[in-house]
Amino acid sequence: MSARELIATAKAMVAEGKGLLAMDESTPTCNKRFEKVGIPQTEGARRSYRELIVTTSGLGEFISGVILFDETIRQSRKDGTPFVRLIADAGIIPGIKVDTGAKDMAGHPDEKITEGLDGLRDRLAEYFQMGARFAKWRAVITIANGIPSRGCIEANAHALARYAALCQEVGLVPVVEPEVLMDGEHTLERCCEVTEKVLRTVFNQLYTQRVKLEGLILKPNMVLPGLTCPKQETVDEVADATVRCLLRAVPAAVPGITFLSGGQSGELASARLNAMNVRFKSRLPWALAFSFARAIQQPALEIWKGQQANAAAAQQALYHRARCNSAARLGQYRTEVENTVDSRAR
Ligand code: 13P
């Protein structure tokens, strides 16, 4: 796989008006979300739900790539057609989550280190064979009293860079995801300071590990006040703080930034992404797009409830959120777009 192909894939992932749909919840996370809305936590139910997503008609208008989980990349539509084939036929690039989860970090109370480097080279080769063209690895950074520590930031950044180098070796575009969590009372300024430090450390490590910046996608958090912080900034203030932070820490050679939603509502995530593109799009070196799981899927999951009879309405809701985020990507998201009833998806 040549550098040229890697770069072409990375560019296609942030094509104008498009972004990524994360549907890579691990089995425990997917089960937790199912349990909340009363869906049985079985392999069959997870397969049916993922089939609903990948067979949503017209999704490829707004979605450039989907991120799958190991169980999902091996699954098929009821008639036996592999999901990966359906996704590629819809003009969408298949991707795969390859970390094995964030675990408690030794010597670092309340902090996590993401695992999954052992045996990664062979797993990546298998995923490439199966049709994946990009991968994802998520590091988790918590803000609280006295944390994040230097040890936690550096270890996670190092693992992200090792993963990214292995991805590029096999021809997969690495989606590099250092997530600073929203949980906590911290202010927007503190989130900005931590996010900048984390991103600077990640890019130092990517450089040390000889990762090609042109062939990766960054998936960061938006710069937000903590969920329980009494002061909650406006949409425009969040957009300004996020872009200011990214401009300081993300090299211009990176083709695109696809935000995670992190527990924001669908509408707020769209509004904030939109504000960034309205205010800064023409002046930025990289595309600002999305790689949302909950902020795209949640309404569809709540409508579906595990019932086939609700599948069409759920697909309509999924299509709608994808469309809203596509508009946000272009700086064209507004009330009329949010209130449009989409009948395109069937
Ligand atoms: P959320 O958009 O729900 O935060 O999920 C994105 C993701 O892929 C987290 O790793």
**What token pair was written down for 233?**
């900034």
Global model pTM greater than 0.85: yes
pLDDT confidence band for 1 (50 / 70 / 90): low
For residue 24, how far is its CA from the centre of ligand 1 (angstroms)? 8
**pLDDT for 296 beyond 50:** yes
Locate the ligand 1 atom nearest the alpha carbon of residue 138 and give its number.
10
For residue 168, how far is its CA from the centre of ligand 1 (angstroms)? 22
The average pLDDT across 55-68 equals: 98
Nearest CA to ligand 1 atom 4: 262
Ligand 1: list residues with CB < 6 Å: 22, 138, 177, 260-262, 292-295
- Residue among 88, 92, 171 nearest 133 (CA): 171
Average pLDDT, the chain: 97
Note whether 26 and 340 are within 8 A (CB).
no
Pick from 21, 264, 292, 298 the residue to mutate for probing ligand 1's pocket: most ligand atoms within 8 Å of its CB: 292
109 prior amide bond cis, ω within 30:
no
For residue 341, how far is its CA from the centre of ligand 1 (angstroms)? 25
* pLDDT tens per residue, range 200-249: 999 999 999 999 999 999 999 999 999 999 999 999 999 999 999 999 99
Note whether 223 and 188 are within 8 A (CB).
yes
* pLDDT tens per residue, range 257-295: 999 999 999 999 999 999 999 999 999 999 999 999 999
* pLDDT tens per residue, range 117-161: 999 999 999 999 999 999 999 999 999 999 999 999 999 999 999
Helix (H, G, I), strand (E, B) or coil at 277: helix
Nearest CA to ligand 1 atom 5: 293
CB within 8 Å of 82: residues ≥ 6 apart: 75, 76
User: Residue 176 and residue 328: Cα distance in Å, rounded?
Assistant: 22
